[in-house]
Amino acid sequence: MREIIVSPTGEGESVIPQFIPVENFYWSSPLLDRIVDAIDQGKITSGADWRKIATIVSLVSDEKRIRFYHNLERIGLSRASLDFLFDNWHPGEKCPPRRPAPWKVRP
Protein backbone atom coordinates (compact mmCIF):
# COMPACT_ATOMS: atom_id res chain seq x y z
CA MET A 1 0.00 0.00 0.00
CA ARG A 2 1.13 3.52 -0.76
CA GLU A 3 0.82 6.39 1.66
CA ILE A 4 0.60 10.10 0.99
CA ILE A 5 4.22 11.25 0.99
CA VAL A 6 5.05 14.92 1.44
CA SER A 7 8.55 16.17 0.67
CA PRO A 8 10.24 18.31 3.33
CA THR A 9 10.68 21.18 0.88
CA GLY A 10 7.28 20.84 -0.77
CA GLU A 11 8.89 21.53 -4.14
CA GLY A 12 8.61 19.51 -7.29
CA GLU A 13 6.68 19.16 -10.50
CA SER A 14 2.97 19.70 -10.11
CA VAL A 15 0.04 18.63 -12.24
CA ILE A 16 -2.35 20.71 -10.14
CA PRO A 17 -2.87 24.32 -11.30
CA GLN A 18 -0.75 26.58 -9.12
CA PHE A 19 -2.17 29.99 -10.00
CA ILE A 20 -5.77 29.12 -10.85
CA PRO A 21 -7.93 28.15 -7.87
CA VAL A 22 -9.07 24.54 -8.25
CA GLU A 23 -12.64 25.71 -7.66
CA ASN A 24 -12.53 27.66 -10.95
CA PHE A 25 -11.38 24.69 -13.02
CA TYR A 26 -13.51 22.12 -14.86
CA TRP A 27 -12.22 18.72 -13.75
CA SER A 28 -12.79 16.36 -16.65
CA SER A 29 -12.10 12.64 -16.44
CA PRO A 30 -8.83 12.95 -18.45
CA LEU A 31 -7.55 15.57 -15.98
CA LEU A 32 -8.44 13.32 -13.05
CA ASP A 33 -6.67 10.43 -14.81
CA ARG A 34 -3.62 12.68 -15.17
CA ILE A 35 -3.64 13.26 -11.40
CA VAL A 36 -3.87 9.49 -10.82
CA ASP A 37 -0.90 8.95 -13.16
CA ALA A 38 1.12 11.64 -11.35
CA ILE A 39 0.39 10.01 -7.98
CA ASP A 40 1.34 6.62 -9.41
CA GLN A 41 4.65 8.04 -10.66
CA GLY A 42 5.34 9.75 -7.32
CA LYS A 43 5.25 13.28 -8.75
CA ILE A 44 2.86 14.77 -6.20
CA THR A 45 4.79 15.42 -3.02
CA SER A 46 3.70 18.80 -1.68
CA GLY A 47 1.14 19.01 1.09
CA ALA A 48 -0.57 21.84 -0.79
CA ASP A 49 -1.13 19.55 -3.79
CA TRP A 50 -2.66 16.84 -1.58
CA ARG A 51 -5.02 19.42 -0.03
CA LYS A 52 -5.94 20.64 -3.53
CA ILE A 53 -6.75 17.08 -4.57
CA ALA A 54 -9.02 16.72 -1.53
CA THR A 55 -10.78 19.94 -2.61
CA ILE A 56 -11.11 18.64 -6.17
CA VAL A 57 -12.79 15.49 -4.83
CA SER A 58 -15.41 17.66 -3.12
CA LEU A 59 -16.12 19.49 -6.40
CA VAL A 60 -16.53 16.70 -8.96
CA SER A 61 -19.73 14.86 -9.79
CA ASP A 62 -20.66 11.64 -7.99
CA GLU A 63 -19.74 9.49 -11.01
CA LYS A 64 -16.31 11.08 -11.32
CA ARG A 65 -15.76 10.80 -7.56
CA ILE A 66 -16.49 7.06 -7.63
CA ARG A 67 -14.26 6.50 -10.68
CA PHE A 68 -11.44 8.60 -9.15
CA TYR A 69 -11.69 6.62 -5.89
CA HIS A 70 -11.45 3.29 -7.72
CA ASN A 71 -8.52 4.50 -9.84
CA LEU A 72 -6.62 5.62 -6.74
CA GLU A 73 -7.44 2.33 -5.05
CA ARG A 74 -6.23 0.45 -8.15
CA ILE A 75 -2.77 2.09 -8.01
CA GLY A 76 -2.43 1.06 -4.37
CA LEU A 77 -3.12 4.24 -2.38
CA SER A 78 -3.64 3.24 1.25
CA ARG A 79 -7.00 3.32 3.03
CA ALA A 80 -5.80 6.14 5.31
CA SER A 81 -4.73 8.22 2.32
CA LEU A 82 -8.07 7.61 0.60
CA ASP A 83 -9.89 8.56 3.81
CA PHE A 84 -7.97 11.85 3.89
CA LEU A 85 -8.65 12.69 0.25
CA PHE A 86 -12.30 11.63 0.30
CA ASP A 87 -13.10 12.81 3.85
CA ASN A 88 -13.86 9.26 5.09
CA TRP A 89 -16.31 8.64 2.25
CA HIS A 90 -16.37 5.24 0.51
CA PRO A 91 -18.14 4.15 -2.71
CA GLY A 92 -21.55 2.70 -1.89
CA GLU A 93 -22.29 5.44 0.64
CA LYS A 94 -24.33 8.46 -0.29
CA CYS A 95 -22.01 11.10 -1.75
CA PRO A 96 -21.68 14.22 0.37
CA PRO A 97 -23.11 17.37 -1.18
CA ARG A 98 -20.74 19.09 -3.56
CA ARG A 99 -19.54 22.61 -3.04
CA PRO A 100 -21.44 25.04 -5.23
CA ALA A 101 -19.55 26.21 -8.28
CA PRO A 102 -18.40 29.80 -7.71
CA TRP A 103 -19.63 30.92 -11.13
CA LYS A 104 -23.24 29.83 -10.58
CA VAL A 105 -25.78 32.47 -9.67
CA ARG A 106 -27.13 32.16 -6.16
CA PRO A 107 -30.68 33.32 -5.35
31-75 per-position pLDDT tens digit: 899 999 988 988 887 788 888 899 999 889 889 999 999 999 999
Q: Whole-model pTM?
A: 0.75
Cβ neighbours for 1, distance < 8 A, ≥ 6 positions apart:
76, 77, 78, 79
**What pLDDT shows up at residue 71?**
95
Q: Is residue 93 classed as helix, strand or coil in its secondary structure?
A: strand
Better-predicted residue by pLDDT, 16 or 51:
51
69-99 per-position pLDDT tens digit: 999 999 999 898 899 999 888 888 777 666 6
